């Protein structure tokens, strides 16, 4: 539990325990205040961890829905995980594509039938918080299909927009 605390909070907890053993230098009232503060600080820390885990679970769920939609040749369903904006950025094979509709159109051209989309599976290697409203996800994709299997790596950036997690940038190779 101690390792999950921020550096400042770990320092405070350490100082608290040192003072706890030096009873002659700390009064009962001060000890109560320290215990209340520690309880409050721990509550804030665990709430932050819970919130982060909830965000990560939501991102994993979105990616699972994308696997299912892609594997059903539902490219519009697959694109629901993406930010529906002209500012959506997709980078693959040395080319930058801007815009949700352009990205969908490119998928439709490149994957016209179920034989081309096949079955998609992601292997997530890492999900890392960038800031309170953003995460990046790195991993691998595996495409099993009649038109020939394909696999590669990806890095996706999720951003919370209007209370929903959306992919705002995607790089695949």
Sequence-ordered alpha helix ranges (H) in 72-172: 75-78, 100-110, 114-117
Could you read off the pLDDT of 79-127 as tens digits, one per residue?
999 999 999 999 999 999 999 999 999 999 999 999 999 999 999 999 9
Least trusted range by pLDDT, from 49-53, 58-62, 159-163, 167-171: 49-53
- Cα 23 from Cα 26, distance rounded (Å): 5
Q: Are 104 and 79 in contact (CB under 8 A)?
A: yes
- Cα 173 from Cα 94, distance rounded (Å): 9
pLDDT of residue 102: 98
Q: Which residue has the higher pLDDT, 15 or 133?
A: 133
What is the side-by-side strand order in the sheet with 164-172? 95-98, 89-92, 164-172, 150-161, 134-144, 119-131
Mean pLDDT, the chain, rounded, equals 85
Q: pLDDT band at 132, cuts 50/70/90? A: confident
- Cα 68 from Cα 104, distance rounded (Å): 17
Is residue 142 over pLDDT 50? yes
pLDDT of residue 27: 67
What's the whole-model pTM score? 0.71
How many CA atoms lie within 13 Å of 17's alpha carbon, on the beta-carbon side?
6
pLDDT of residue 1: 42
Kindly give the pairing relationship between strand 150-161 and strand 134-144.
antiparallel
pLDDT of residue 28: 67
pLDDT of residue 91: 96
- Cα 89 from Cα 77, distance rounded (Å): 18
Torsion (CA) 84, 152, 112, 64 in degrees, nearest 10: -50
Is residue 152 over pLDDT 90? yes
Q: pLDDT > 70: what percent of the chain? A: 70
Structure tokens at 7: 């550096």
- Cα 157 from Cα 81, distance rounded (Å): 11
pLDDT of residue 162: 96
């Amino acid at each position: 539990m101690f390792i999950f605390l921020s550096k400042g909070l770990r320092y405070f907890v350490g100082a608290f325990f040192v003072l706890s053993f030096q009873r002659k230098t700390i009064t009962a009232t001060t000890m109560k205040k320290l215990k209340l503060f520690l309880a409050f600080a721990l509550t804030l820390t665990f709430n932050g961890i819970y919130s982060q885990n909830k965000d990560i679970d939501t991102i994993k769920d979105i990616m699972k829905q994308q696997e299912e939609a892609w594997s059903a040749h539902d490219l519009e369903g697959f694109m629901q995980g993406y930010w529906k904006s002209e500012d959506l950025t997709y980078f693959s094979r040395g080319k930058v594509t801007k815009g949700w509709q352009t990205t969908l159109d490119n998928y439709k051209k490149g994957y016209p039938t179920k034989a081309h989309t096949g079955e998609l599976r992601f292997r997530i290697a890492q999900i890392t918080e960038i800031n309170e409203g953003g995460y990046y996800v790195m991993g691998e994709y595996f495409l099993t299909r009649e038109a020939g299997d394909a696999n590669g790596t990806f890095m996706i950036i999720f951003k919370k927009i209007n209370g929903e997690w959306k992919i705002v940038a995607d790089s695949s190779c």
